[in-house]
Amino acid sequence: MATSIMTASPKSICILRLSALGDVCNAVAAVQAIQTRHPDCKITWIIGKVEFQLLKHLPDIEFIVFDKRGGKAAVKEFKQTIARYHFDILLHMQVALRANYLAWLIRAKRKIGYDWVRAKEAHSLVVSERIKPIVQRKRWHVLDSFMDFAQAAGATESDCYPPRWNIPVPDADKRFALETLDSEKPAFIICPAASKEERCWLPERYAEVAHYAHRRGLHVVLCGGPAPLDMALAQAIQNHCKVQLTDLVGKTTLTQMFALLGEAMFVLAPDTGPAHMANAQGTTVIGLYAHSDPNRTGPYGSLQYVANAYAYHVEKQLNTAPEKTKWGQRVKGSDLMSHISVSDVTTLLDHALADTD
């Protein structure tokens, strides 16, 4: 059944959202909307190990860290920890099988999960209430679904919109960012890698955009994690590039990268966590999307700056318009990102620069 209207302020709420970086960044806005409405409510967030490193400085939140790589030992530890808690509300914001099992272990008077359309992996078996169905929603983005959870917990429309973030940046990381970036030029940060190679743009095109940004007077910086894909893509971009880049791929901590993204004027990224990390700090993001709908997973505050090849591929593969597809519909192919041209991106950069004047 759908969630009922809140009549009294809850004293304790459990947030279950383990991953991923982009999703937890979007979820922060919903959690902080709840804190605005219920400032005296105790918030406990069950979160992944990596994601905790980014959010651990959030004010007035208790974190329970679950390391999904820990196997049976991690589950045993979680059982022992969560047995001490009993919540008024569980907001079950993740549908993966592992998360559903954790939700089953959590004691709460109300367990609120996704509607029937988005529930999977036995999600519906571990919740007693659901957020409103996707077909009844005017907003389509993943962040908006998190806001539906916030409203189910009593937050109002004005608490939720426009979304607001307060993710503290440690002073040392802020100093690192300011010392690393060129103080004379605005920073244009390229985060080139997504979680899968097929969702990454072509390195020679990243290099051409870097040339263009350099000519427009921007300090071009590469950022990313230490994963092999990140490192290989950064090297390929360097090989194609004829201008000096600051390559920080694999050379920063997560919070240092977060600080850098917050100090940038623009960030260029595909469907990846750093796009949402930048968005959470109000940085303009130029998104590169072909496999998933940017209206659902794009940088929330910069959707007007997204290079969107998804619409083309949906019409070609499914013979329908993007707005008529089911929520979460992806398209398949190893070369979909090649349909985003350099001029698509430089035109968006021009628009973004004009908007900052």
- Average pLDDT across the chain, whole number: 94
Mean pLDDT, residues 56-66 taken together: 97
pLDDT at 355: 96
Which band of pLDDT confidence, cut at 50, 70 and 90, is reported for residue 133? confident
* pLDDT of 273 over the 50 cut: yes
pLDDT of residue 136: 53
Structure confidence by residue, pLDDT tens digits, 72-88: 999 999 999 999 999 99
pLDDT average, residue stretch 323-351 = 94
Band (272; pLDDT cuts 50, 70, 90): very high
pLDDT at 139: 73
Whole-number pLDDT of residue 257: 98
- What percentage of the chain carries pLDDT values higher than 90? 89
Residues sharing a CB contact under 8 Å with residue 32, sequence separation 6 or more, in sequence order = 164, 165, 166
Residue 325: per-residue pLDDT: 85
Confidence category of residue 4, pLDDT binned at 50, 70, 90: very low
The C-alpha atoms of residue 356 and residue 153 are separated, in whole angstroms, by 37
Distance CA 147, CA 150 (A): 5
Share of the chain above pLDDT 70, in %: 97
236's CB contacts (< 8 A; 6+ apart) are 203, 204
Lowest mean pLDDT among 99-108, 129-138, 145-154, 313-322: 129-138
Q: Given a cut of 50, is residue 294 above it in pLDDT?
A: yes
* Mean pLDDT lowest among 56-65, 206-215, 321-330: 321-330
pLDDT band at 322 (very low <50, low <70, confident <90, very high): confident
71 conformational bin, left if phi > 0, alpha if psi -120 to 50, beta if neither: left
Q: pLDDT (tens digit, 9 = 90+) per residue, 214-250?
A: 999 999 999 999 999 999 999 999 999 988 899 999 9
What is the mean predicted confidence (pLDDT) over 332-342? 96
The pLDDT, as a whole number, for residue 326 is 84
- Give the position of tokens 């651990």: 56
pLDDT of residue 138: 65
Is-contact 129 114, C-beta < 8 A?
A: no
H or E stretch including 104? Answer: helix 97-105
d(CA 181, CA 216): 16
- Across 262-276, average pLDDT: 98
